[in-house]
Amino acid sequence: MSTPFTRSASARLAAASALCAAAAALVIPAVARAHAVAGDRVFPATMAIDDPGVGDEANLQFGHQRVPGDSGDQSVNTFDFEYDKLITSRLAVSVGGTYVMQNNPTAHGFDNIDVGAKYLLYVNDPHEFMMSVGVDAELGGTGSRAIADNFSTISPTVFAGKGLGDLPDSLGWLRPVAVTAEAGPAFTTGAGQPNAFNYGFTVQYSLPYLQQHVRDVGLPAPLSNLVPLVEVPLSRSQGQTTGTVNPGFIWINRYGQFGIEAQIPINRASGSRVGVLVQAHIFFDDVAPNTIGKPLFNL
């Protein structure tokens, strides 16, 4: 699970230095069958909008963005790690942290610790539909004073995903399409600090789904494992909407995935230049299903 979009500058991103270390777990070609599965549909772990499933997994991301600051535009680099652990096959808890480097003014350090829980509420396999509910808490005062807020933010969120695999054969080229979405408020505990409403969606076109469940068009590797997508994370607070439009792609196999996206600001308040997100993600529930990736309780 990823942290909901709350601030345009530090959207919970991953440790770039760990990307190479994660590569060893992902180089073995295999049919994608990750944790967020509804029928024939695999919902990948997207970078800005959380997928609708639960799993035993680790997410590493690096992000770069140029955003408005108190003294003009500032460049912000973020390195993020998140670990999700299955308690049961439907319930997962998470913990994560972000290291932030920014200029104008120059500051660096860890943002507040994030903890969360997520429950898989409903799955409809024939219609490739999945829904989950969760809550994320950014714990105020646990990070660097130069970077982190001294108040907490609590974000209950609903997640949903729908694949179009139930369309008729006459619309076969649309069947690889899937849409995911999330929405929920972000409540702050600081006096006078504004609340927000965070929401967003993704549109995906799964080439593995096309090859395996619609028509084998003979795509070679690595193209046969790509999922082109667009993510749109948004947040509204104090009458203003901020966010980005993120075109990119994810390469996915059975054990994990790599991804890269551009971050295009929707307005001046969201950023001044195009940013980037880079992701490496490991599915422990597929890498080690009988040990580290096994739920704590078989309920």
Read off the pLDDT of residues 170-187 as tens digits, 9 standing for 90 and up: 999 999 999 999 999 999
Q: In the predicted model, is pLDDT for residue 5 greater than 50? A: no
> Which pLDDT score, from 0 to 100, does residue 16 have?
36
Q: What radius of gyration do the chain's Cα atoms show?
A: 19
Q: In this structure, is residue 297 part of a structural domain?
A: no
Give the chain's domain count: 1
Structural domain boundaries enclosing 87: 16-287
- The Cα–Cα gap between 276 and 265 comes to 11
User: For residue 211, which phi and psi values (nearest 5 degrees)?
Assistant: -65, -40
Q: In this structure, is residue 10 part of a structural domain?
A: no
Greater model confidence, 277 or 70: 277
Could you tell me what percent of the chain has a pLDDT over 90? 82
Q: In this structure, is residue 41 part of a structural domain?
A: yes
User: What is the CATH number for 199?
Assistant: 2.40.160.40
pTM summary value: 0.87
3-class secondary structure, 36? coil
Q: In the predicted model, is pLDDT for residue 20 greater than 50? A: no
Contact 134, 159 (CB under 8 A): yes
Reported confidence tier of residue 1, pLDDT bands at 50, 70, 90: low
Q: In the predicted model, is pLDDT for residue 34 greater than 50? A: no
Contact 78, 100 (CB under 8 A): yes
In this prediction, residues 137-156 reach a mean pLDDT of: 96
> Which pLDDT score, from 0 to 100, does residue 72 have?
73
Q: In this structure, is residue 294 part of a structural domain?
A: no
Q: In the predicted model, is pLDDT for residue 13 greater than 60? A: no
In this prediction, residues 65-86 reach a mean pLDDT of: 89
Q: Residue ranges of the alpha helices (H) in 17-93?
A: 19-23
Q: In this structure, is residue 1 part of a structural domain?
A: no
Contact 110, 78 (CB under 8 A): no
Q: In this structure, is residue 299 part of a structural domain?
A: no
> Which pLDDT score, from 0 to 100, does residue 25 have?
36
Residue spans of beta strands (DSSP E) within the chain:
37-38, 41-42, 57-69, 72-86, 91-102, 107-110, 114-124, 129-138, 153-163, 177-188, 196-205, 226-237, 240-253, 256-265, 275-283
> Which pLDDT score, from 0 to 100, does residue 104 have?
79
Q: In this structure, is residue 293 part of a structural domain?
A: no
Q: In this structure, is residue 298 part of a structural domain?
A: no
